[in-house]
Amino acid sequence: MHIATPRDLSAAGPSVVLCASHRLVREALTERFDTIGGVRIVATARDAAESIAEAERYRPAVAIVSDDIGRAAALHAARTIVERVRSCSVLMLVGNEDAEALAEAVEAGARGYVTRHARLQHLCDAVLRIANGLADVPDSMLRTLLDRLVERRSASEEGDRVLSQLSEREREVLLLLTEGASTDSIAESLMVTRETARKHVQNILIKMGVRSRLEAVAYVVQDGRRALL
């Protein structure tokens, strides 16, 4: 594990934990930020787990999370840091402007969104902005972001409505389906007959408006609704 030597925490400017997969990127950005001034890199991390640990350790004003560690991992890191270190704002450093990725980042709690094509001064300014409680999103993406968030909210509400139609027992069956249970194992787990288990599955498919168990499971898992069961 490579973690940069912590900077003087009494120095001026907001403290930052920087997460990027490549060591050269971490070291280069740390050196350049020192040159520009106004931002202190107190620690670096190479993956989501390290970024979360360093954010909890140093409790910085800002965590810069690069999606070069993987989009899902970056979103996990952002979401977890926001939940565990309330005083820390997250800035996502991304390869390209992507409306869907931006919407996901905002929903994960990120307050800043900067591409790796931006000038270093722009990244530094973005850090300062979100450290002061503001947001930093490309102006060209604001309208698209709002549209995407509205669409995602509508889809989420529709998904919640669909699942709310299921009975408590049907929710239990659907949860077992997400774990890969067969009709026989569902019957055994719930201590019901195989025919009863099969009937529950059929009712679930009808109420959800899907044609197969696989579609029902995908509907729940892919949209993150498993917790609702």
Fold of 156-228: Arc Repressor Mutant, subunit A (1.10.10)
Q: Over the range 81-95, which residues count as b (16 or more CB within 10 Å of their CB) and which as e?
A: bbeebeebbbbbbbe
pLDDT tens-digit map of 87-118: 999 999 998 878 778 888 888 888 888 989 89
With a pLDDT cut of 90, the percent of the chain lying above it is 49
Domain 15-139 top-level CATH class = alpha beta
Contact assessment for residue 138 and residue 97, using Cβ atoms and an 8 Å cutoff: yes
Quote the tokens at residue 217: 């499971």
Q: Over the range 99-111, which residues count as b (16 or more CB within 10 Å of their CB) and which as e?
A: eebbbbbbbbbbb
Measured CA to CA, the distance from residue 123 to residue 136 in angstroms comes to: 10
Measured CA to CA, the distance from residue 45 to residue 28 in angstroms comes to: 13
Sheet holding 89-94, edge to edge: 40-45, 15-19, 62-66, 89-94, 112-115
pLDDT tens-digit map of 113-124: 898 989 999 999
Below-70 pLDDT ranges, the chain: 1-12, 37, 139-160, 222-229
Neighbours of 194 (CB within 10 A): 13
- Residue ranges of the domains in the chain? 15-139, 156-228
What is the distance of C-alpha 171 from the center of its chain?
A: 26
> Whole-structure pTM over 0.85, yes or no?
no
Answer yes or no: same fold for 15-139 and 156-228. Answer: no
Closest CA to 109 of 158, 54, 62: 62
